[in-house]
């Protein structure tokens, strides 16, 4: 497996620390709002990566944190006059609800900052003890100039950063490029006790602490969107490598996804050009969103349009129609050597594509190519390998890419359930039980289903 390592800027052969084990940390959401569809990109990307390794028989150790305390959360909860954790819990629940529609592997550890305060304080103390951090008026800062490798991930030199740094007023920092590890509380802010002040951690320290706690001092892959590369990931590296007497090697490979854009601009909450994932999910199945995202290589930008989603929807429908058609073909006991070869070739091409820095568009193309070949062979005659063809396509599409459409059977079941409810409603009307019949009508209406005189529209 080749992975583009953002730390070395090179395509590298992936070597796990422990054979057949993948340890991966992906920076998670700041939970002060619903996530937008751009935020779903790293979630889908790293899920496919984990799925592929799983398909190779790897044990996956996947950690994604929740940033449940920061300025945005404090400001928003103050605006709403609620506690910070009321707000964060609400959006953690919403996040989990949203991604439950994206067919994400469930075995992901999701620790929260607020549950890791003793460990955070311990690492900050360690950085002070080792001479990399200093306390100043209740705040604690990381002293960037003490870490000579600072800037390696983002290809910047400390001197250049110093020249470019904004001179802040009323700062307790020794140097403008130093960054906060601990922030003394301001009036009305939530706080935790610490040796330096009542306060809360800076943003970056949480990931150094939680990756160490759950994955140890050295793990395989660290991921996130490209916007996190600087300063967040650069600072994570500095904190982790400088703590624990340099024993902490931190991540071996760094992977960053490109942006999901809208009209050439990054989709972001601050620009206001976002579409919430949950709104899109009202109209499009999670499998469509996945196929749409995976149709572009993860390091390239994606231009988000509804037309793009519609196209992905058509593609999925067409693949499933084909699979259904194959499954219904009359079985022929003849073996077809060309079909056998096509299966082998497809598997090779699919795997080669994924192993080439997760080239999902090429992997998807290999499915189309395979179907085309099989279609040609079928026009001549059916053959006994056809079930195997269906199985293979389903496996790579659903288990590896995670693109699993709600089946037609599911849709048919839905129709039957609506019909059943409607019959019960009719029966209730006949028995003059209008309370029940109205309840059924209203509940169906909430789901966008109109029922008129027993007919469902
Ligand atoms: P945030 O809550 O803004 O920290 O974002 C959570 C994750 O989504 C991070 O890994 C970001 O890099 C990623 N992200 C945010 N916006 C986009 C976008 N427009 N396209 C792709 N990834 C994004
Ligand atoms: Zn992080």
DSSP string covering 272-283, please?
Answer: T---BHHHHHHH
CA of 65 to the centre of ligand 1 (A): 13
**Phi, psi torsion values for 149, nearest 5 degrees:** -85, 5
Query: Please, what is the end-to-end C-alpha distance for the chain in angstroms?
Result: 51
Residue 457 has pLDDT above 90, yes or no: no
Q: How many residues can be counted in the chain?
A: 457
Residues 270-303 as b or e (16 or more Cβ within 10 Å = b): eeebbebbbebbeebbbbbbbbbbbbbbbeebbe
Torsion on CA atoms 262, 265, 269, 271, rounded to nearest 10: -120
**Contact between 6 and 256 (Cβ < 8 Å):** yes
Report percent pLDDT > 70 for the chain.
96
- Residue scoring higher pLDDT (330 or 29): 29
Helices of type H across 56-189: 71-80, 84-99, 117-129, 158-164
Mean pLDDT of the region 413-428: 84
Residue 165 has pLDDT above 70, yes or no: yes
The Cα–Cα gap between 255 and 22 comes to: 14
- Which residue CA neighbors atom 11 of ligand 1 most closely? 225
- How sure is the predictor about 448, in pLDDT bands with cuts at 50, 70 and 90? low
**Contact between 289 and 305 (Cβ < 8 Å):** no
Residues with CB under 6 A from ligand 1: 27, 29-30, 38-39, 41-42, 224-225, 227-228, 257, 259-260, 266-268
CA of 42 to the centre of ligand 2 (A): 13
CA of 182 to the centre of ligand 1 (A): 24
Residue 454 has pLDDT above 50, yes or no: no
CA of 225 to the centre of ligand 2 (A): 10
- Which residue CA neighbors atom 2 of ligand 1 most closely? 29
CA distances from 108 to 38, 50, 64, 98, 373 (A): 20, 10, 7, 15, 38
Tell me what the pLDDT averaged over the chain comes to: 93
- Which residue CA neighbors atom 17 of ligand 1 most closely? 38
- How sure is the predictor about 411, in pLDDT bands with cuts at 50, 70 and 90? low
36, 42, 98: residue to mutate for ligand 1 pocket, most atoms within 8 A of CB: 42
Residue 356 has pLDDT above 50, yes or no: yes
For the ranges 35-44, 145-154, 368-377, 415-424, the lowest mean pLDDT is seen at 415-424
The reported pLDDT for the residue numbered 289 is 98
Give the number of other Cβ atoms within 10 Å of residue 187's Cβ.
4
For the ranges 111-120, 244-253, 264-273, the lowest mean pLDDT is seen at 244-253
Give the number of other Cβ atoms within 10 Å of residue 377's Cβ.
17
- How sure is the predictor about 412, in pLDDT bands with cuts at 50, 70 and 90? low
Per residue in 312-339, pLDDT tens?
A: 999 999 999 999 999 999 878 889 999 9
Helices of type H across 356-433: 360-380, 386-394, 408-430
Work out which ligand 1 atom sits closest to the CA atom of 224: 10
**Contact between 101 and 286 (Cβ < 8 Å):** yes
The Cα–Cα gap between 275 and 288 comes to: 15
CA of 114 to the centre of ligand 2 (A): 15
26, 36, 38: residue to mutate for ligand 1 pocket, most atoms within 8 A of CB: 38
The Cα–Cα gap between 284 and 288 comes to: 6
3-state secondary structure of 33: coil
The Cα–Cα gap between 73 and 84 comes to: 6
Per residue in 302-315, pLDDT tens?
A: 999 999 999 999 99
CA of 64 to the centre of ligand 2 (A): 9
The reported pLDDT for the residue numbered 419 is 81
Report percent pLDDT > 90 for the chain.
84
Mean pLDDT of the region 138-160: 96
The Cα–Cα gap between 437 and 428 comes to: 6
- Which residue CA neighbors atom 4 of ligand 1 most closely? 29
The reported pLDDT for the residue numbered 408 is 52
CA of 162 to the centre of ligand 2 (A): 23
Q: Which ligand is nearest to the CA of 265?
A: 1
Peptide bond into 161 cis (omega under 30): no
CA of 73 to the centre of ligand 2 (A): 17
- Which residue CA neighbors atom 14 of ligand 1 most closely? 39
3-state secondary structure of 255: strand
Work out which ligand 1 atom sits closest to the CA atom of 225: 12
The Cα–Cα gap between 438 and 408 comes to: 30
**Contact between 213 and 118 (Cβ < 8 Å):** no
Looking at the DSSP bridge assignments, the partners of residue 369 are: none
CA atoms within 13 A on the CB side of 146: 20
């Amino acid at each position: 497996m080749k992975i583009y390592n953002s730390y070395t800027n090179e395509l590298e052969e992936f070597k796990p620390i422990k054979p057949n084990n993948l340890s991966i940390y992906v920076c998670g959401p700041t939970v002060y709002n619903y996530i937008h569809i751009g935020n779903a990109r790293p979630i889908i990307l790293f899920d496919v990566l984990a799925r592929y390794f799983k398909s190779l028989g790897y044990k996956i150790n996947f950690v994604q944190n929740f940033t449940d305390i920061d300025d945005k959360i404090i400001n928003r909860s103050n605006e709403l006059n609620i506690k910070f954790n009321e707000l964060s819990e609400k959006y953690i629940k919403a996040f989990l609800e949203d991604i439950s529609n994206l067919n994400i592997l469930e075995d992901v550890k999701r620790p929260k900052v607020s549950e890791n305060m003793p460990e955070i304080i311990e690492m900050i103390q360690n950085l002070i003890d080792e001479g990399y951090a200093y306390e100043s008026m209740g705040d604690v800062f990381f002293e960037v100039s003490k870490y000579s490798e600072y800037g390696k991930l983002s290809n910047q030199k400390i001197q250049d950063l110093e020249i470019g740094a904004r001179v802040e007023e009323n700062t307790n920092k020794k140097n403008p490029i130093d960054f906060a590890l601990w922030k003394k509380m301001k009036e009305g802010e939530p706080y935790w006790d610490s040796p330096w002040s009542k306060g809360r951690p800076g943003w970056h320290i949480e990931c150094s602490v939680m990756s160490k706690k759950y994955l140890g001092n050295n793990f395989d892959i660290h991921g996130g969107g490209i916007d996190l590369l600087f300063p967040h990931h650069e600072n994570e590296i500095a904190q982790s490598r400088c703590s624990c007497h340099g024993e902490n090697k931190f991540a071996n490979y760094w992977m960053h996804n490109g942006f999901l854009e809208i009209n050439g601009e990054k989709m972001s909450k601050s620009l206001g050009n976002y579409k919430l994932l949950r709104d899109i999910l009202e109209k499009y199945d999670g499998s469509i969103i996945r196929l749409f995202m995976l149709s572009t290589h993860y390091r390239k930008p994606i231009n988000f349009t509804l037309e793009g989603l519609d196209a992905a929807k058509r593609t999925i429908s067409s693949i499933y129609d084909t699979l259904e058609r194959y499954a219904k073909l009359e079985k022929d006991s003849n073996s077809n050597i060309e079909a056998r070869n096509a299966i082998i070739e497809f598997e090779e091409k699919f795997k080669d594509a994924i192993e080439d820095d997760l080239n999902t568009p090429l992997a998807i193309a290999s499915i189309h190519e395979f179907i085309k070949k099989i279609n040609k062979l079928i026009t001549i005659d059916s053959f006994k390998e056809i079930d195997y063809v269906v199985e293979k396509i389903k496996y790579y599409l659903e288990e590896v890419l995670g693109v699993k459409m709600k089946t037609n059977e599911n849709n048919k079941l839905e129709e039957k359930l609506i019909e059943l409810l409607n019959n019960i409603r009719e029966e209730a009307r006949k028995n003059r039980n209008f309370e029940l019949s109205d309840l059924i009508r209203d509940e169906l209406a909430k789901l966008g289903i109109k029922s008129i005189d027993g007919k469902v529209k």
